[in-house]
Structure 1
Amino acid sequence: MNQSPFRVFVILFVAIAGILLAAPNFLPKSVQEALPGWLPQPGLVLGLDLQGGSHLLLGVNQESIVSQRLSDLRRDARNVLATQNGIGNIITTDVARNTLNIELTDPSQKAQAETAIRGLQNTLSDFMFSGVGVDELSFGETGDGRLTITLTPDGINQRMSSLVAQSMEVIRSRIDELGTTEPTIQRQGDTRVMVQVPGFGDSERLKNIISQTARLTFHMVYPGMTADQAEAQGLPAGTMILPSQDGGRELLYEDVAIGGESLVDAQPAYDQQRGIPVVSFKFDTRGAITFGELTSRNVNQRFAIVLDNTVITAPVIQQPITGGSGQISGSFTTASANDLAVLLRAGALPASLDVIEERTVDASLGADSIQAGFTAGVVASILVLAFMVVAYGLWGVFANISLILNIILIFAALSTLGATLTLPGIAGIVLTIGMAVDANVLIYERMREEQASGKSPLQAINAGFQRAWGTIIDSHLTQLVAAVVLYFMGSGPIQGFAVTLGLGILTSLFTAYTVTSFQVNLWYKRVRPKKLNIQKFRFIPDGTKIPFMKISRVVIALSIVMTLVSIGSAFTKGFNLGIDFVGGTAIEVQHVGGPADVGQVRELLGGLDLGEIQVQGFGTPQDVLVRVQAQEGGQSADQVAVQQVQEALAGENYEVRRVEAVSGTVSGELAWTGTIAVIIALVCILIYIWFRFEWQFALAAVTTTSHDLIMTIGLFSLTGMEFNLSSIAAVLTLVGISLNETVVVSDRIRENLRKHRKMPLPELIDLSINQTIVRTSLTQFTLLLALLPLVFFGGEALRSFTIAMTFGSIVGMYSSVIINGPILINFGLKQKTDDDEKADAEKKKRSPDGASV
């Protein structure tokens, strides 16, 4: 209870800094702009689910990269062999093996050819480690004497990685051209880019602008032969056939006469003579010279302007174009001409990007989510704060002040980190409100026990803080493990939940112990009470002696039956898997002007021939959720399906509020990642508890936690609630909550094993549970006070998540109290004799660092 000046300074500094960092986020925009410059600017960013916008996960198309690279390599090989060295050759492409096969017309030139093609070797540098590179090509020879050039796996991976980095810059330039604010563009792994644009509701336009490669090239048209004739007679050497925008085909030279990289400007324009939108362009000096020479040499010849392997236009060169500028005409609208100009100004993507995950939220739905989260948070806070005062009186006020500061520090930390606050993130904060009280309850209950054992008020206060600290650390760290695993294994909103939960755990360690002890110290010095009157209300009276071990057989039998039912339901009935795990598209629509007619929506969509379509009520009577299976044509087909659904419902006054599309590839990855996350969390916690306790406690903790997980997952199967990424977050959070209860009981059992060595183990476990049951009932009730407002007011998006959390927390308390003890006995937990204690002391003395081994 001695408060050093430094400790007081730290508490006051953290509190004031937290208030200054958090407060601006809750002020109107006009007030924020008027704040003095020395005050920190708000750094908290609202997620797309709270302010609307678009989220895209883009994947580099490896097939297109390899195909393009083989095409370029084939052209380079032909150039270095035939043009530069006069070596006759026939080059074929083996796409399956990523290989070029070179057959020489004169085998005696093999040595010269090998030397020539080895000059094509390209060393790709690692973007993370400068100076480290890999060879892109490997050279060999087939059994029949043909030379081979093969793209190496490391070379392909390195090229894809470098192309992702280049693509991010191009995407950033394109989004900046649109004039949007605060886009988030992040690399995800080696081959993916995540793009979030808050407030940009036209997701279709955003996808087209971001994912279109926009590779502009100029090719000369092969004269005197049509594409159909060339296909019938055989393609002339160095030519290719490309489709044209008007539905035809053109025979072009493969060689790029001039590329889009020479462009310095592109603007939408209007051709007054023809009355059509066009795109005017301008080359840099070098490009202007090249373009002038090209057009001068080929007057009266046709040249093609090609965008992403499609011929936009192929006019005849009437006269040399020496000004370095021109225009592209085609079947443009004003909007498409503007978008093409944006693409050309920003530059071409170095690789094709596929949209493999899409989430779009309407701004009105975001506003509803904010209101739902705010309502749930306020109701939960009022309930928890009020209950603490009812249960502990003045001591509850101390805990409430610490809790309020805890919430302020969470927002301050989020603001400082520039983190994104999502709806699951708000749920994490509300959940922290319930869990943060647990540390204060542990301290207060320990004080009551110490005073009951005959200690003075000051001794009881000191002992309460000191002896509860170890249990608080153990219980919080087990939850922190789950939060860390969630962050690194999750994505998007799940990471937002993990961040707020993790920060809440860390801040509650500071506030519940340091800040509460500071308040208690000030109060004690002023009042000097002769007796601590801590608790005003309790669910279970002191001196309760419930024979838990006697009823454990019946309870365990019941648990086995319920576990088997859960497992049986999972295997027979299965789960209502969300699109996160099965792929497809979810579209949330709202009927304007009255309740939605689910039957009408089902009838309107029944004739679209989109495969399986599920239609169900969602949230309010006006809302409907439409789930469309993944289409066979991939991402483009999924987009067409969304458009068809929108068009079918538009005439009946349905507005689209949210769209989520996940490819089959990503859904499989998410399911696997979620499973791995649960396993990793359990293993990490097993190791931690094994280290802190004995192996019997670790195995018992994992066994009871596994029981809780099976029961909770069974709930999803039995009730048919949607099982999605948020469900994985709920499961992992339950790992922490369940272990929190188990650790508290186990810690008391371990303490009593040292104190009551003659007591039979079943009686000792009963004693330990009865000593902690008051704390368990109080913390469980406060947790429910925080969770139930989320269930009723948190919105439909969080419904299954919060129901699972509520159910799982009750099951976790039940298993920690009743099931954990018998499992400890069955795993062979024994009381240590005096001889065992002496042996442990001898081992400790022999240990080099003096620590127990």
Structure 2
Amino acid sequence: MLYYSRWKTLIIWLIVVVSVLFAVPNLFTKDQLDRFPSFLPKDKVTLGLDLQGGSYIMLKLERGDIVKDRLETVVGDVRTALRDKSIRYTGLAGNGQTVQVRISDTTQLQAAKDALNDLTAPVSVGGLTGGTVQEVSLDDAGDGLLRLNLTDDGINYRVSSALTQSIEVVRRRVDELGTTEPVIQRQGEDRIIVQVPGLQDPQRLKALLNQTAKLTFHMVDSSMPVQEAISGRPPAGSEVLYSTDEPAVPYLIQKRTLVSGENLTDAQATFNQQNNEPVVTFRFDSQGAQRFAQITTQNVGKPFAIVLDNQVISAPVIREPIVGGSGQISGNFSVQGANDLAVLLRAGALPATLTIVQERTVGPGLGQDSINAGMNASIIGAIAVVVFMLLFYGGFGVMANIALVANVIMIFAVLSIIGSTLTLPGIAGIVLTMGMAVDSNVLVFERIREEVKSGRSLVQAIEIGFNKAFATIVDANLTTLIAAAVLFFLGSGPVRGFSVTLAVGIITTVFTAFTMTRWLVATWYRWRRPKHLPKGIRTGIFDAQNIRFMGIRRYIFTGAAILSVASLVGFTTVGLNLGIDFKGGSIMELKARQGDADIRDIRERLTTLNLGDVQAQGFGDPASVLVRVQAQDGGDGAQQSAIAKVRGELEDNYDFRRVEVVGPVVSGELTRSATIGVAVALLAILVYIWFRFEWQFAVGAIIATLHDVILTLGLFVALGIEFNLTSIAAILTIIGYSLNDTVVVYDRMRENLRRYRKMPLDVVIDTSINQTLSRTVLTSSTTLLALLALYLFGGEVIASFTLAMLFGVFVGTFSSIYIAAPVLIAFKLRPESFADDKDDAPAGANKAQV
């Protein structure tokens, strides 16, 4: 019966109150929250970069650098080991992962092996589990030739160690910028994600992260003129390096490192007291100071070079021994350049180069615009849904709206508690949830109306309506939850934020629809003791309908097949307009500093940069323009160079409001993960529906879903809409929504198949569709209202996303009637499949039928 004990009522409203407490901090600034009592929650939903500005950068550790360094180290170790034992050798060289040396006197071969055995000894990998790894293996190739091979396990160990060290170095560098709440984390075997919200100067961050900051001190080789070394061959153990001057000055430098930056304890930017130029002072630790004093004492009058990342910063002559353990670096620095070099030296050197393989940078101005657009769209969508429910369901609509408000509050509370990041697609997820949350209430209300029409008393109709709707609500929402879960595990960045918001929204929707709405209805009934349902214009609109949907199924199915084939032909011939997520490249949103953007001038200026295919088009208002640059042939480094060239050409006249860069490696990975994501989602949903229904239902649901996906791809092809990661999110959400609708219809079909076992299948299907038609139309309408608000007022950035969603809601509703249902007839579904005595309970029983 409609009875709630006090403890159940208390729990329901306690959850609501706690949700309010955790959601309220999002309405206040950080300064205001600091004045709150300490016992109140103060955590807020973290705004994504697209809402508050900042930078997201994915760095890739260059494995080749690790291999190169190890190869040089092993070559040096071999040279030292053989010389210490007075063993003569020739042809010492390294290539790939192999070092080879030929022992001149074969009688010394065994002695050479013994001398090199130390290099092949296993090294401890440390950690709680301990263990060792062999980094070098020794092979005798015959005729005095020995080969030392760098093992893959050893390289992997070095890469893992270097990545761990790099994360700490990156963290120290970012912390030196004074930013708030940066996120620095490992991803995979060789990637680092750096996310810095609210950063005003992303270019400076990139400059700091992209330098290895490997500071070393070397003697200048004076044994031959540098020009002779350039035109000929430099002496063994020396190399030619160039200075940072313009034009660059060459130096012949000894490769042997005298002192490295690892011995630095401090570095500060200051001014030279003699000429007031910016310089960087440094101080060594005791070991470095002792070594530096020894070297400068032995080489008075000789030049030595200060080298940073294989470039000579300066090459002064040692006038006198430097015994204090400190010195200074000068090199025509700007104030900013001296500060940044000091930051790099204090943070420490990266063990290998970190290449930017993916970048998403949003200016703070665009972030605020996105917040405004998202809030406006959310408010308009919410008002539209609220008014719609009030008009169609009257008093029940009031209860549904109360539950809807509680639902949104709970979403923000959960996001605050788990520390989730809210992105612009995340706002889209909330708006979509508002539209879909109404579906659960509509299912309940329509069930109650049906029971009243069949002659039940109102109290019986309410009880039976909730019971019958519950399983349908769970089935329908679980399919969408599966799609959200796949998005979370296979997505990244904004897509993952969207999946979290959608998943949280599904869970809170089930709670508010079945628990809170039920409590509201029960309380209303006990207080008012009504004899009739609340009045609304919904009453009677879809009653007594007997549309023969299956009568024209062959024509509709044929038309849908033709459209699907046309979409596939367009997909395979014309192809999708792939965004940078899938083909690599760069995209920049610019805004003119004064007046309107001159798109023709931008095209002409960028054409001269020889960057390949460059596109410029209007974007939103007349002052904004979107620039796309194709993926560069030189790899990830060339991508960054292309961005730098575009900035240098246009930044005097335009603000760079948004920059996205995806390298070819990442784009290939995203393509694979997106394809796998869609396949996994379909497979998981197929298994679930097969488990909950018969196999014909599972096949019908998948065919209907494939129809929706194919037609949505056809829309992208026909309109030339850019297909990117958010498009994958849209497709997976369409899959969830389409299956939601299909499962609702299938649930009613299964119920009727149990009830009317001798009725022809096409009649059962028509009856079921007509019975759920009101729910289908009303739910689609509320969802379309919410998405339409998002499309019209949510901004250009997610316009293609919401357009795909709007189209998906339409085709999803269509396919649940004209694709999913006819498949059951084609596969000859039999009512006998549901002949189970335990399902033959009377229609009025209080058992939860599904």
Same-fold status (TM-score > 0.5): yes
Structure 1 residues 277 and 592: alpha-carbon distance in aligned structure 2, compared to 1, 3 A threshold: closer
Residue aligning to 1:72: 73
Question: For the aligned residues, what is the CA RMSD?
Answer: 2.2
Q: 1:703 Cα deviation (Å)?
A: 0.7
Residue aligning to 1:506: 507
Percent identity between matched residues is: 50
Structure 1 residues 792 and 93: alpha-carbon distance in aligned structure 2, compared to 1, 3 A threshold: farther
Contact 1:538 1:774 (8 Å CA) reproduced: no
The one-character-per-residue Cα deviations of 1:525-573 (angstroms, maximum 9, x if unpaired) are 2122233347641684212111111111110111011111111111222
Q: 1:79 Cα deviation (Å)?
A: 1.8
Q: Does 1:821 align with 2:821?
A: yes
Q: 1:125 Cα deviation (Å)?
A: 6.6
SS at match of 1:11: helix
- Distance in 2 (CA, whole Å) between partners of 1:124 and 1:387 is 70
Matches within 5 A, 1:214-233: 214-230=213-229
SS at match of 2:139: strand
Task: Identify the range of structure 1 (764-773 vs 446-455) with the bigger mean alpha-carbon deviation.
Answer: 446-455
Matches within 5 A, 1:290-439: 290-439=291-440
Q: Does 1:193 align with 2:202?
A: no
- Distance in 1 (CA, whole Å) between partners of 2:67 and 2:473 is 55
Task: Identify the range of structure 1 (616-625 vs 526-535) with the bigger mean alpha-carbon deviation.
Answer: 526-535
Residue aligning to 2:844: none
- Distance in 2 (CA, whole Å) between partners of 1:591 and 1:372 is 20
Residue aligning to 1:810: 810
Structure 1 residues 133 and 560: alpha-carbon distance in aligned structure 2, compared to 1, 3 A threshold: farther
The one-character-per-residue Cα deviations of 1:599-644 (angstroms, maximum 9, x if unpaired) are 3332333333222111111112221111112233444443343343
TM-score normalised to structure 2 length: 0.95
- Distance in 2 (CA, whole Å) between partners of 1:185 and 1:823 is 50
Structure 1 residues 7 and 663: alpha-carbon distance in aligned structure 2, compared to 1, 3 A threshold: same
Contact 1:604 1:648 (8 Å CA) reproduced: yes
Structure 1 residues 311 and 603: alpha-carbon distance in aligned structure 2, compared to 1, 3 A threshold: closer
Residue aligning to 2:688: 688
Residue aligning to 2:526: 525
Q: 1:740 Cα deviation (Å)?
A: 0.4
SS at match of 2:149: strand
Q: 1:95 Cα deviation (Å)?
A: 3.2
Q: 1:586 Cα deviation (Å)?
A: 1.0
Contact 1:479 1:736 (8 Å CA) reproduced: yes
Q: What amino acid sits opposite 2:720 in the alignment?
A: G
- Distance in 2 (CA, whole Å) between partners of 1:18 and 1:754 is 42
The one-character-per-residue Cα deviations of 1:349-383 (angstroms, maximum 9, x if unpaired) are 12210011112111111111000000000000000
Residue aligning to 1:272: 273
- Distance in 2 (CA, whole Å) between partners of 1:122 and 1:278 is 45
- Distance in 2 (CA, whole Å) between partners of 1:791 and 1:233 is 66
- Distance in 1 (CA, whole Å) between partners of 2:416 and 2:469 is 31
Q: What amino acid sits opposite 2:657 in the alignment?
A: R
Contact 2:390 2:536 (8 Å CA) reproduced: no
Q: 1:409 Cα deviation (Å)?
A: 0.8
Q: 1:479 Cα deviation (Å)?
A: 0.5
Residue-pair matches, total: 837
Task: Identify the range of structure 1 (101-110 vs 396-405) with the bigger mean alpha-carbon deviation.
Answer: 101-110
Residue aligning to 1:767: 767
Q: 1:302 Cα deviation (Å)?
A: 2.3
Task: Identify the range of structure 1 (126-135 vs 663-672) with the bigger mean alpha-carbon deviation.
Answer: 126-135
Q: Does 1:747 align with 2:747?
A: yes
Q: 1:126 Cα deviation (Å)?
A: 6.7
- Distance in 1 (CA, whole Å) between partners of 2:14 and 2:334 is 60
SS at match of 1:42: coil
Residue aligning to 2:701: 701
- Distance in 2 (CA, whole Å) between partners of 1:81 and 1:538 is 96
- Distance in 2 (CA, whole Å) between partners of 1:732 and 1:280 is 56
Structure 1 residues 833 and 615: alpha-carbon distance in aligned structure 2, compared to 1, 3 A threshold: closer
Structure 1 residues 4 and 838: alpha-carbon distance in aligned structure 2, compared to 1, 3 A threshold: closer
Structure 1 residues 396 and 118: alpha-carbon distance in aligned structure 2, compared to 1, 3 A threshold: farther
Contact 1:444 1:534 (8 Å CA) reproduced: no
The one-character-per-residue Cα deviations of 1:396-429 (angstroms, maximum 9, x if unpaired) are 1111111111111111111111111111111111
Contact 1:50 1:422 (8 Å CA) reproduced: yes
Residue aligning to 2:848: none
Q: 1:323 Cα deviation (Å)?
A: 0.4
Matches within 5 A, 1:581-600: 581-600=582-601
Q: What amino acid sits opposite 1:827 in the alignment?
A: F
Residue aligning to 2:578: 577
Structure 1 residues 151 and 793: alpha-carbon distance in aligned structure 2, compared to 1, 3 A threshold: same
- Distance in 2 (CA, whole Å) between partners of 1:124 and 1:716 is 55
Task: Identify the range of structure 1 (220-229 vs 278-287) with the bigger mean alpha-carbon deviation.
Answer: 220-229
Structure 1 residues 105 and 245: alpha-carbon distance in aligned structure 2, compared to 1, 3 A threshold: farther
SS at match of 2:367: helix
SS at match of 2:819: helix
Q: 1:261 Cα deviation (Å)?
A: 0.9
Q: Does 1:111 align with 2:110?
A: yes
Residue aligning to 1:491: 492
SS at match of 1:631: coil
- Distance in 1 (CA, whole Å) between partners of 2:777 and 2:289 is 80
SS at match of 1:513: helix
The one-character-per-residue Cα deviations of 1:430-484 (angstroms, maximum 9, x if unpaired) are 1110011111111111122222223222222221111111111111111011111
SS at match of 1:632: coil
Q: 1:799 Cα deviation (Å)?
A: 0.5
SS at match of 1:130: coil
Residue aligning to 1:179: 178
Q: Point out where structure 1 has 5 or more consecutive residues left out of the alignment.
A: 842-853
Task: Identify the range of structure 1 (788-797 vs 329-338) with the bigger mean alpha-carbon deviation.
Answer: 329-338
Q: 1:707 Cα deviation (Å)?
A: 0.4
- Distance in 2 (CA, whole Å) between partners of 1:122 and 1:312 is 38
Structure 1 residues 133 and 780: alpha-carbon distance in aligned structure 2, compared to 1, 3 A threshold: farther
Contact 1:539 1:778 (8 Å CA) reproduced: no
Q: 1:327 Cα deviation (Å)?
A: 0.8
- Distance in 2 (CA, whole Å) between partners of 1:593 and 1:243 is 41
Q: Does 1:47 align with 2:48?
A: yes
Q: What amino acid sits opposite 1:709 in the alignment?
A: V
Residue aligning to 1:847: none
Residue aligning to 1:141: 140
Task: Identify the range of structure 1 (316-325 vs 576-585) with the bigger mean alpha-carbon deviation.
Answer: 576-585
Contact 1:539 1:774 (8 Å CA) reproduced: no
SS at match of 2:782: helix
Q: 1:581 Cα deviation (Å)?
A: 1.5
SS at match of 1:791: helix
Q: 1:664 Cα deviation (Å)?
A: 1.6
- Distance in 2 (CA, whole Å) between partners of 1:356 and 1:122 is 36
Task: Identify the range of structure 1 (515-524 vs 719-728) with the bigger mean alpha-carbon deviation.
Answer: 515-524
Contact 2:72 2:94 (8 Å CA) reproduced: no
Q: What amino acid sits opposite 1:666 in the alignment?
A: V
Residue aligning to 2:28: 27
Q: What amino acid sits opposite 2:772 in the alignment?
A: T
- Distance in 2 (CA, whole Å) between partners of 1:746 and 1:198 is 46
- Distance in 1 (CA, whole Å) between partners of 2:664 and 2:576 is 17
Q: Does 1:472 align with 2:473?
A: yes
SS at match of 2:832: coil
Q: 1:93 Cα deviation (Å)?
A: 4.2
SS at match of 1:832: helix
Q: 1:156 Cα deviation (Å)?
A: 2.0
- Distance in 2 (CA, whole Å) between partners of 1:327 and 1:756 is 92
Residue aligning to 1:776: 776
- Distance in 2 (CA, whole Å) between partners of 1:116 and 1:177 is 46
Q: 1:7 Cα deviation (Å)?
A: 2.2
Q: What amino acid sits opposite 1:584 in the alignment?
A: G
Contact 1:218 1:259 (8 Å CA) reproduced: yes
- Distance in 1 (CA, whole Å) between partners of 2:109 and 2:49 is 60
Task: Identify the range of structure 1 (147-156 vs 412-421) with the bigger mean alpha-carbon deviation.
Answer: 147-156
Contact 2:606 2:649 (8 Å CA) reproduced: yes
Residue aligning to 1:441: 442
Residue aligning to 2:847: none
Task: Identify the range of structure 1 (607-616 vs 383-392) with the bigger mean alpha-carbon deviation.
Answer: 607-616
Q: 1:587 Cα deviation (Å)?
A: 1.3
SS at match of 2:320: coil
Contact 1:43 1:419 (8 Å CA) reproduced: no
Q: 1:81 Cα deviation (Å)?
A: 2.7
Q: What amino acid sits opposite 1:150 in the alignment?
A: N
- Distance in 1 (CA, whole Å) between partners of 2:126 and 2:638 is 35
SS at match of 1:323: coil
Q: 1:253 Cα deviation (Å)?
A: 2.9
